[in-house]
Amino acid sequence: AVAEPISHFAAPPFRGVEPESKDAARSAMAITLYHFGLHTWTIFALPALCFGYFMYKRNLPPRVSSMFQPLLGARIHGPIGKLIDIVALVGTLTGVAVSIGL
């Protein structure tokens, strides 16, 4: 979260903006707020709505595989559901590790 505005402050992507100036700071914050704006939060909100619906409306466990209940039915409690949960967990851990590593 801190690296992006600092990067744009040091090397502005717009022509005519001098690095490390007030204009560079304004444009760096504008770009960062755009990147972390409404469309980014939509990516977080959609799975959250799915979790909420399937946990509270359908009384399913708080797992990613629960979201596949309309497609898989009771098979979400078997090996297919476990595979979905494992893939989701590995994907989440990999994404966090890459973010920390960068």
pLDDT in tens, 68-102: 999 999 999 999 999 999 999 999 999 999 988 87
- Residue 40 has a pLDDT of 84
Domain coordinates in residue numbering, the chain: 3-35, 38-101
Q: Give the pLDDT confidence of 24-72 residue by residue, as tens digits.
A: 999 999 999 988 888 888 888 999 999 999 999 999 999 999 999 999 9
**pTM for the predicted model, two decimal places:** 0.69
**From CA 98, how far away is CA 75, in angstroms rounded?**
32
Alpha helices (H) along 1-78: 3-10, 22-35, 38-52, 69-72
